[in-house]
Amino acid sequence: MSTLKIAVILGSTRPGRNGKAVADWIVDRAGARTGAEYELVDLADWPLPYMDEPLPPSMGQYQGEHTRSWAAKVAEYDGYVFVTPEYNHSIPGVLKNAIDFAYAEWNNKAAAFVSYGTVGGVRAVEHLRSIASAVQLAHVNAQLCFSLFTDFENLSFFKPGEHHDATADRLFDQLEAWSTAMRTLREASDRIPAGRA
């Protein structure tokens, strides 16, 4: 079986964002993993407009070239680590918009969540779990929550406490296990003859 591909999706495009340092930390820690390859996918590099598709993404009839390109990028991966700040008890609009642009490309894959904010971004992740379920992403239990007060110097320089290391390892372990299981499920579904599902 080929090596798993995991996208670390940076869900903030705000100038001066703290998320880039967090996402880089995730990618760096994952670099020693042997069961999966982790790649940063920065939404700042994917300037999607507000949802402008005439048909629901679940129909799979994407009209815009930007949509087709983004959907193809999402389709490359077996799993995802979403890195999100918390804005007003939820996720940034740019992240919600990026998820909404695709559908089948997310289905039957695995997801993990990394958040940061004044209370660790936990409320944003609670919303993100519901959104992930709606696009048929299986999300793991382990999550990383970084506090702006204790994991950032002067609220801006990322310096996570060592106690996060064990949680990060658990998150990677769970995500890779579930990504493997979901890939097996996708491959089994592909083998079912038409009309037998």
Model confidence at 141: pLDDT above 80: yes
Checking DSSP bridges between strand 152-153 and strand 157-158, what pairing results, if any? Answer: antiparallel
Averaged confidence pLDDT in the chain: 94
Model confidence at 30: pLDDT above 80: yes
pTM to 2 decimal places? 0.94
Indicate the CATH number for domain 4-191. 3.40.50.360
- Give the tokens for residue 168: 């990060």
The pLDDT, as a whole number, for residue 192 is 59
Q: What is the residue extent of each domain of the chain?
A: 4-191
Contact call for residues 109 and 103 (beta carbons, < 8 A): no
Tell me how far apart the alpha carbons of residues 129 and 124 are, in angstroms, rounded to a whole number: 9
Contact call for residues 139 and 80 (beta carbons, < 8 A): no
Band (145; pLDDT cuts 50, 70, 90) = very high
The pLDDT tens digits for 39-61 are 999 999 999 999 999 999 999 99
Task: Tell me the HSE value of 120 on the side-chain side, using a 13 A CA sphere.
Answer: 12
The pLDDT, as a whole number, for residue 98 is 98
Of residues 143, 152, 142, 93, the one with CA closest to residue 117: 152
The pLDDT tens digits for 158-168 are 999 999 999 99
The pLDDT tens digits for 92-138 are 999 999 999 999 999 999 999 999 999 999 999 999 999 999 999 99
